[in-house]
């Protein structure tokens, strides 16, 4: 029984792929590249509401004299993740917003509304849609 030097998928004793097999692979690769280029570019800019919430988290954190590292540690995330929330690179879930508010000793309202006396950004967005 002869020993094959190639992988089990090759049919050649030398271990080389047959030319037909190589052509199929190159066609698949080309088709994949065409599909990748055909995709429209996504808008990477964060939603204004996400930007607002992130800024409010940062503002309340600074007013509370808490560092990013301290806040992140208290809610069980990395400071890099907190930075992403504050810069609106990642969206903050409702449960995480609650955890951040509790760690800062405030309700969720200041993180959504802004400083006292300001109209809620969410209310502004909703009113603009009417």
Q: Which token pair is 25?
A: 């692979």
Note the pLDDT of residue 43.
72
Domain boundaries, given as residue ranges, for the chain: 48-128
Note the pLDDT of residue 40.
54
Sign for the CA dihedral angle at 52, 56, 57, 58 comes to positive
Q: Which token pair is 109?
A: 């309202």
- Distance from C-alpha of 83 to C-alpha of 102, rounded to nearest angstrom: 18
DSSP labels, 8-37: TT---TTSPPPHHHHHHHHHHHHHHHHHHH
For 16-48, the pLDDT digits (tens) are 555 665 666 566 666 655 555 555 566 778 999
Note the pLDDT of residue 44.
79
Nearest to 77 by CA among 95, 56, 50, 55: 95
- Distance from C-alpha of 74 to C-alpha of 30, rounded to nearest angstrom: 49
Low-confidence ranges of the chain (pLDDT < 70): 1-42, 114-130
Quickly name the fold that domain 48-128 has: 434 Repressor (Amino-terminal Domain) (1.10.260)
- Distance from C-alpha of 114 to C-alpha of 116, rounded to nearest angstrom: 7
């Amino acid at each position: 029984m002869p020993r094959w030097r190639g992988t089990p998928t090759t049919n050649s004793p030398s271990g080389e792929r047959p030319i037909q097999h190589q052509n199929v692979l190159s066609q698949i690769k080309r088709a994949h590249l065409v599909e990748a280029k055909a995709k429209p570019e996504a808008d990477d800019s964060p939603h204004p509401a996400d930007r607002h919430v992130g800024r409010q988290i940062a503002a309340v954190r600074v007013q509370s004299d808490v560092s990013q590292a301290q806040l992140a540690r208290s809610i069980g995330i990395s400071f890099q993740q907190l930075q992403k929330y504050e810069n609106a690179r990642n969206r903050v879930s409702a449960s995480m917003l609650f955890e951040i508010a509790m760690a800062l000793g405030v309700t969720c309202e200041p993180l959504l509304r802004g400083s006292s006396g300001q109209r809620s950004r969410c209310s502004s967005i909703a009113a603009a849609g009417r």
